[in-house]
Amino acid sequence: MKHIVVFVLAALVFSVIVAPETALAQRTAIRVEAMDIHRLHEMGLPNPNNWDNVSSGLTSVGIGNLVWLSGWDITGDTTWKTGPNYLWELATKPGASTATLDSSTTQWTTFRPDIEGLYAIRLTIAGKDTTVTLSAGRFMGTDRHNLAGAPLHCGACHSGGAQFQSWKNSGHAKIFENGMNGVNGAGWGANCFKCHTAGFNLGTTAANGGFDDVAATLGFIDSQWKPWRPGLYDSLLTTDKKMLTLVAGISCENCHGAKNPTHFGLGTQPKTMDAGVCGQCHNEPWRHNRFVQWEFSPHSESIWSNSFRSSGANPISNYNLSACVRCHDGQAYVNFIKGIPFDNRTSTGYSAIKHTKITCQTCHDPHSGGLRSAPTTSDTLGNGYNYSSMNLGEGKTCFNCHKYRRNESTYVSTALSSHWGPHYRGAADVFLGKNGHTFGATIPSSIAHQLVEKTCVGCHMSATPDTGTVARDKIGMHTWKMSYEYAPGQHVDNVTGCASCHTGIARFDDIIAAFDYDGDGTIESFIGEVHGLSDKLAMALPPYGTTDVNWALIAASPDSVQLKKAYWNYLYVKYDGSYGVHNPKYVVGLLQKSVTTLTGVEFKNGEGVPAEFALHQNYPNPFNPSTRISFALPKQENARLQIFDMLGRLVNTLVDENLDAGTYDVTWNGTDRTGASVASGVYLYRLETSSFASVRKMLLVK
């Protein structure tokens, strides 16, 4: 069956790039497109058997598998552009092949290689041509059980390598085994085989030694082996169907393609950093949603700067914090982990076109499935602090890039510019309470968040909301996002990792600060207090009195050295982006010390005895489901804090006891004296002592 693709898309990103090396002289590029179930559905394309038109995007494919190709004008080597016209040609193919391209004049075309061999496809755009060569072959599978009489397979040559040994016991390798043994659940079965095996394709043209072909030859029928139960897979190894296990599991050819007929040497099987090769199985959002989460993450966005390129004579090998590509190019990060050079030279054509995003393979080792480990010599912040001895769990992977590039103690003396500062997303520095300017003070760090299991992962990768929720796959897990704005002013926060300690919260603003940190007379949410402090610091910097800080005016000030130290702290908090959540005490301390140094204003943070009685406005207000009420007592007295409805009827008593002088915070969760939830509406709260009485209003909105 042929499928003519007649549409044009301007920014399809999951592909293998094939283009000549001379970037500026070359206008034309071909992308071998990875196509998964979800992408085919979203693009309105057919997909027989719910799998036959899925493609890994690799240049080595199984005989009869559909190959998707798209053509692009890359003049200038900066962006992918739609060409003015297209001419596709099947330049060469095996002599007996009758394969043809489904379209010769549209931006996209497809074809199915029909016999083993090499296929060269040429594309011409505006007189400039390029060619990609693809191989079609049969799936060999791989043997991890040392079966007697096993035919030639990947492990026959590679079983002694570290990568094979790493894969051998991975979840990918054992997924089919676990299914037969009942580990994957009773629902596991034939519908799962397309992803849990090698070479699966029920299309009549795809006779290529994949799982379905081997199963048919051996007479393996899954229903005859049910129910799935412990030890069942081992019993399969004792039958005449044992060779099925060579393709039963996610093995070499799922990620490197069917055996290239010319393969017997390094480099003849493709390796890719394209996330699409993972998406072929991990992009079925209703149940396999890792890929769509990644698509919504900042990691999937193509952040590019010409500063990533080098004009030097040699590829980069010194991956210090000044090496942009270490964190901004997915392949360069892998090279950094492995300790091998990365060619980012302008002279060899490194550009926005050849830039690699932060994909699945960037963080995960494809063979073990686990996270990649960086050299311990890189476990150092910009100020020289080494954190190798700390147990950061899986969050340590995040630390490799999410730390500030610069050393505060030396950098603050450098000249100001529009890009001056600690760089961006320095969560590691903030989390560890390092590299801020303390003005000689000792600023403590919060310990609680450092005790979160897996650190960064414990919060940022907490479970995404379930199906049907507006924030489904928009926060948590592989989005790494903590908030999603689904409409102007309407957002959902990822509080799953917070709720075990901050019970009853539904959003970050429900976490009320312990004190009025910014000194504006109202105790707000903690993040609100830090925003207030940050604004106070901004207004203490030139041009003064506004939150729009002007670096040029700081540079021109006679007091520029002191101002730059405070400006560093302002950017330190701003660029982290958590507004104190990563280390509440340290961030509050830095901001308060900076404001005090510049203005002389002191912050008490609740220390000492209040000067007078006070009943503060509740926060948040309006609220749902709970709100915080704070009050102050300048001396010891019996205090009673009660809630009334608008008819003056008592709803609940929150406090009725003798209290020492001090500042107090009480939470009302919208319930009456019996514990039942009250209706929406306006309520009064009253504080009464023998010396003081005050009443305020609040609004409960459900």
- The residue out of 240, 256, 272 marking a domain boundary is 256
Would you say 613 and 634 are in contact if contact means Cβ atoms under 8 Å apart?
A: yes
How many alpha carbons fall within 13 Å on the CB side of residue 394?
12
Q: How open is the CA angle 9-357-346, to the nearest 5 degrees?
A: 100
Structure tokens at 26: 């070359």
- Residue 107 CB coordination number (10 Å): 23
Among 81, 75, 78, 100, smallest CA distance to 89 is for 100
Tell me whether residue 431 is in a domain: yes
Residue 377: partners with Cβ closer than 8 Å, 6 or more residues away? none
Tell me whether residue 168 is in a domain: yes
- The residue out of 110, 137, 164 marking a domain boundary is 137
**530 CB-contact burial (10 Å; exposed 0-12 / middle 13-18 / buried 19+):** buried
The verdict on 29 and 93 lying in the same domain is yes
The verdict on 537 and 583 lying in the same domain is yes
The verdict on 30 and 122 lying in the same domain is yes
Residues of 160-172 as b/e, b for ≥16 C-beta within 10 angstroms? Answer: eeeebebbbebeb
| DSSP-assigned letter for residue 676 | P
Four-CA torsion 488, 489, 492, 497, nearest 10 degrees: 140
- Residue 378 CB coordination number (10 Å): 17
Strand intervals (E) in 14-74: 15-18, 28-33, 60-62, 67-73
pLDDT at 628: 86
Q: Mapping DSSP to helix (H, G, I), strand (E, B) and coil, where does residue 508 land?
A: helix
Would you say 647 and 683 are in contact if contact means Cβ atoms under 8 Å apart?
A: no
Tell me whether residue 355 is in a domain: no
The verdict on 100 and 168 lying in the same domain is no
Q: What is the CA radius of gyration of the chain?
A: 31
Q: How far is residue 370's CA from residue 58's CA, in Å, rounded to a whole number? A: 23
The verdict on 86 and 162 lying in the same domain is no
CATH code for position 638: 2.60.40.4070
The pTM of this model reads: 0.84
Tell me whether residue 45 is in a domain: yes
Residue 270: partners with Cβ closer than 8 Å, 6 or more residues away? 16, 58, 59, 60, 256, 257
The verdict on 436 and 584 lying in the same domain is yes
| DSSP-assigned letter for residue 450 | G
The verdict on 396 and 532 lying in the same domain is yes
pLDDT at 24: 46
Low-confidence ranges of the chain (pLDDT < 50): 1-17, 19-24
Instruction: Give the H or E element holding residue 651.
Output: strand 650-659
Q: How open is the CA angle 501-503-504, to the nearest 5 degrees?
A: 160
Residue 149: partners with Cβ closer than 8 Å, 6 or more residues away? none
Q: Mapping DSSP to helix (H, G, I), strand (E, B) and coil, where does residue 299 land?
A: helix
The verdict on 450 and 531 lying in the same domain is yes
Tell me whether residue 517 is in a domain: yes
Range of the domain at 114: 15-137
Q: How far is residue 434's CA from residue 420's CA, in Å, rounded to a whole number? A: 19
Tell me whether residue 207 is in a domain: yes
The verdict on 570 and 667 lying in the same domain is no
**How does strand 483-487 pair with strand 637-645?**
unpaired
Query: N- to C-terminal Cα distance for the chain?
Result: 56
Would you say 441 and 591 are in contact if contact means Cβ atoms under 8 Å apart?
A: no
- The residue out of 256, 291, 317 marking a domain boundary is 256
Structure tokens at 185: 């659940």
| DSSP-assigned letter for residue 532 | H
Would you say 394 and 371 are in contact if contact means Cβ atoms under 8 Å apart?
A: yes
Tell me whether residue 368 is in a domain: no
Tell me whether residue 26 is in a domain: yes
Q: How open is the CA angle 453-454-455, to the nearest 5 degrees?
A: 90
Q: In Å, how far are 50, 169, 354, 533 from 442, measured between CA atoms?
A: 62, 49, 47, 19
Residues of 220-244 as b/e, b for ≥16 C-beta within 10 angstroms? Answer: beeeebeebeeebbeebeeeebbbb
| Phi, psi for residue 124 in degrees, rounded to 5 | -120, 130
The verdict on 682 and 595 lying in the same domain is no
Total domains in the chain come to: 4
The verdict on 458 and 552 lying in the same domain is yes
**How does strand 67-73 pair with strand 28-33?**
antiparallel
| Phi, psi for residue 619 in degrees, rounded to 5 | -145, 135
CATH code for position 92: 2.60.40.1080
The verdict on 554 and 653 lying in the same domain is no
Cα 79 vs. chain centroid, distance in angstroms? 24
